[in-house]
């Protein structure tokens, strides 16, 4: 199994979408990229921690490739809006790919080059090494499944 950690706005929607994809065996929402280990939702919402809301995917690379996951990443959000997705505004809603190894970093860079023309060269997605990942509070896990709208 491998891990992918992606920031694409509020983590509830992407968790639900990725959770339906064959080969993704587990989803978890959390925070990544900031300076503070073991951060809380309340701290992230202040905008002072530099963490992004993220979805952490455990996937079987024999069923789904990291490349395909990154393609879905670009389908599931607008990678051209800086520090926001839809009505959600703040650095925690930024578009960011957190890589776990050099192979993921290289694939992510290639995928941005591939998708940039589709978005008129306006992709603002950052690529960063995983830093201070913290699992979100339990009430955020599978939130949309628990709270049918």
**Residues with catalytic annotation?**
10
Cα separation, 131 vs 62, whole angstroms = 27
| Rounded (5°) CA angle 54-112-31 | 10
Segments of the chain assigned E as strands: 2-8, 24-32, 52-59, 84-85, 88-89, 95-99, 126-129, 134-135
Residue of 143, 129, 43, 57 whose CA lies nearest to 91: 43
**Distance in angstroms (rounded) separating the CA atoms of residues 48 and 75:** 29
CA dihedral 20, 75, 49, 101 (to 10 degrees): 80
């Amino acid at each position: 199994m491998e891990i992918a950690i992606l920031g694409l706005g509020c983590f509830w929607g992407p968790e639900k979408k990725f959770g339906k994809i064959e080969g993704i065996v587990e989803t978890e929402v959390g925070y990544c990229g900031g300076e503070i280990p073991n951060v809380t939702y309340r701290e992230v919402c202040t905008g002072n921690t530099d963490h992004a809301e993220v979805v952490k995917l455990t996937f079987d690379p024999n069923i789904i490739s990291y490349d395909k996951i990154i393609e879905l990443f670009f389908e599931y959000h607008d990678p051209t809006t800086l520090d926001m997705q839809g009505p959600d505004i703040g650095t925690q809603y930024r578009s960011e790919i957190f890589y776990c190894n050099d192979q993921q970093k290289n694939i992510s860079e290639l995928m941005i080059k591939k998708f940039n023309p589709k978005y008129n060269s306006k992709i603002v997605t950052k690529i960063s090494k995983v830093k201070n990942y913290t699992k979100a509070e339990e009430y955020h896990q599978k939130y949309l499944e628990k709270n049918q709208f």
